[in-house]
Each structure stands twice: as C-alpha cells, then as structure tokens.
Amino acid sequence: MLVAGGAGYIGSHTVRLLQEHAVPVVVLDNFSTGHRAAVRAPCVEADLADSEPLRLVFREHRPKAVIHFAAKCYVGESVVEPAKYYRENVVHSWNLLEAMRAADCEQIVFSSTCATYGVPREIPIEEGHPQAPISPYGRTKLAIEYMLEDYSRAYGLRFSALRYFNAAGAASDASLGEHHEPETHLIPLMLRVASGRSEEILIFGDDYETRDGTCVRDYIHVEDLADAHLRALRLLEAGRQQVVCNLGTGRGYSVREVLDVARRVTGHPIPARVVARREGDPAELVSGGRRATELLGWTPRRSELEQIVRDAWNFQCAHPDGFPT
C-alpha cells in the first residue's frame, strides 16, 4: 500500500491503523507539512511534482493500491494563491494517477471534502447534493473527483472519494495528533489558549442564522476517518468500482458549543472574543452520512465532541510544541 501524504494529520493516523491490520505500507511524503516523527513506516521522501521518483516508487514497491492524502488544504490561502492549489492538488494528483496507470495500479482512496458542496442548499448534506464549491480549494478537490471518475470509466481505475467534514481529535494514546503551521483550526486553537500559549480565541462571526449565531460544523474524530479509509480499501479490493461517501457524524455543533466543551474538558476559562465573519464560511455544514454506514459498514465510534476534544487536549499536553521539526 502506498500512502501519499502519510506523514500528515489524517495520513499518519491511517498509516498506523493499516499497520495494526498488518497491511504493508510505504509512505510517500515531501514533508512540507507532514512530520517525520508522525510515521513509523518505510518512507520515501519525494514530491508528487517529480515523475521519475514516483515511477521508481511504483517499480520498487509494486503497491496494489494508493491512499492519497497529499494536498494543500487551507481555504483562505487557496483564494489568494489559486495557482499553488491547482498545481499541488490537481497537477500533482494527475502525476500520481499517471504513475499508477503506468504501473497498472488500479485502486485509489482519495481525500475529498465537504467543501466540494459549496454553500449547502439543505442540511444535512447528502452525497447527491449538488457540488458547487465556492473556493479554489473546494474546486481543486472536485476537479480531482472528476478526474477519478473519468479514469475509472476509461481505464478501469477503482476509486473511493471520501468527503470529510471537520476532521478533529487525536490518537487515543496521545501519540499522534494535529500539528499544522500555521494552525487555523478551531479546536487546536482553543486548546492553545487553554495551555497558555495564546491569550484568547477569536469567534469568526455571531450573526449567522444558527441557534446561537455562530457557525455549525460536524466534527469527526481522526481515528474514525482512518477506519473509513481501511473499509473503503477493502471494498475496492473486493472489486467495487466506485465508493463515494461523506464522512461525518450527522450532528453539528456551533463554535460556542465547542467552546463550552473545551472549557469543561480543560478546566480553563478560554477567553473568547467575537470578530468579523471569516470569508467563505457557510453557516452550517452537517453530513447526511447514511451512505458510509450502508456501503462501508462504518459508524463513528470516537466522535462524541467531548471525546474529540479530550483526545486533542491529551495530545496537546503530551506534545506542547507538536512534533519536532
């Protein structure tokens, strides 16, 4: 199994789960945002920009399948630097698909996102909801979904596109977790305040049409996401052509509700200040989520918000500075 981007947040948890299930893994990562310390599997340091090392990886390791996490994932940055997102996400995914095609590797599990839906017309968001992304990030992920569909039809590629809602939490033993530079995500930022490394959390808008005016999101535990990848892989191995699923819990929490949980878990008052809305934030994103249960037999096991925040907090206490660079 080749895991592109296996040193990143969701990738590293998935690599570990694969290893626990005795699946042989090779990680391919350029370590631009991933962390060496997050992976205990054979690693090839290479960039998906470069076709030659990619070709060699397939020749040497002969993977039957690929899980593809390697991507840029900041919505705001993608608005300012779309060229970077089209290159890193679309062009590099194309390079990977071409390397797979040349090596007759026919299965791929791809990290997609609820950002491909854009501003939802209805909540919860089912997989059949129109995909009309509003950011370059979401558009690049949708472009890759289209590419997978077309390769599937023309070349027999079997693929899974897993549309994550809000990935959060950390490994239950606190050995792996979320470490982004810069950090932009709500839960780790709140926990930074609780650990005294920043002063306050900024709430991006409290005038949305939601129960308390703050944005509602569907937080899904990173270990539950990892589990879904393994299940999707098994389905492809069994011969299924396409597996396209949302991965969420079907339950949304507002920013203020997350804050209450973080205060309870950490015992810290976590001062908060309301500021202007962040551009590109829909009021509410909650997954319909039935298809993952039906197709993959998947149900989130660790995604109670309190559990997510507790695991993230344990990771932050165990690794106050994140992974060593």
Among 84, 180, 234, 278, binds ligand UDP (CB under 6 A): 278
**Smallest gap from residue 64 Cβ to ligand UDP (A):** 32
- The amino acid present at 41, given as its one-letter code, is A
Contact region with ligand UDP (CB under 6 A), list: 23-31, 142-150, 183-191, 244-252:
183-191
Among 82, 281, 304, 323, binds ligand UDP (CB under 6 A): 281
Distance CA 76, CA 53 (A): 31
Among 166, 246, 249, 266, binds ligand UDP (CB under 6 A): 166
Verify binding: residue 73, ligand UDP, rule CB under 6 A.
no
Residue with tokens 């609780």, as numbered in its chain: 194
Of residues 128, 149, 278, 259, the one with CA closest to residue 205 = 278
Among 185, 192, 234, 302, binds ligand UDP (CB under 6 A): 185
User: In angstroms, what is the C-alpha Rg of the chain?
Assistant: 19
Q: Which of 9, 117, 137, 151 is catalytic?
A: 137
Residues 128, 178: contact at Cβ < 8 Å? no
Verify binding: residue 147, ligand UDP, rule CB under 6 A.
no
Distance CA 60, CA 94 (A): 20
151 assigned to active site: no
**Smallest gap from residue 45 Cβ to ligand UDP (A):** 28
Contact region with ligand UDP (CB under 6 A), list: 51-59, 185-193, 224-232, 289-297:
185-193
Of residues 153, 151, 188, the one with CA closest to residue 309 = 188
**Smallest gap from residue 62 Cβ to ligand UDP (A):** 36
Q: Helices (H) and strands (E) in the chain — how many of each?
A: 11, 14
Of residues 26, 58, 66, 55, the one with CA closest to residue 42 = 26
Distance CA 290, CA 303 (A): 16
Residues 269, 263: contact at Cβ < 8 Å? yes
**Smallest gap from residue 10 Cβ to ligand UDP (A):** 13
Q: Which two tokens stand for residue 190?
A: 């709140």
Contact region with ligand UDP (CB under 6 A), list: 41-49, 89-97, 201-209, 263-271:
201-209
Q: Which is nearer to ligand UDP, 64 or 180 (CB)?
A: 180
Among 7, 17, 105, 215, binds ligand UDP (CB under 6 A): 215
Residue 283 CB partners (closer than 8 Å, separation 6+): 208, 209, 210, 215, 216
Q: Which is nearer to ligand UDP, 228 or 295 (CB)?
A: 228
Verify binding: residue 189, ligand UDP, rule CB under 6 A.
yes
Residue nearest to ligand UDP (CB): 215
Q: Which two tokens stand for residue 70?
A: 């390697």
**Number of residues counted as binding ligand UDP (CB under 6 A):** 15
Distance CA 248, CA 121 (A): 18
Verify binding: residue 256, ligand UDP, rule CB under 6 A.
no
Residue with tokens 């939490």, as numbered in its chain: 169
Q: Which residues are catalytic?
A: 137
Residues that bind ligand UDP (CB under 6 A): 75, 166, 184-186, 189, 201-204, 215, 217, 255, 278, 281
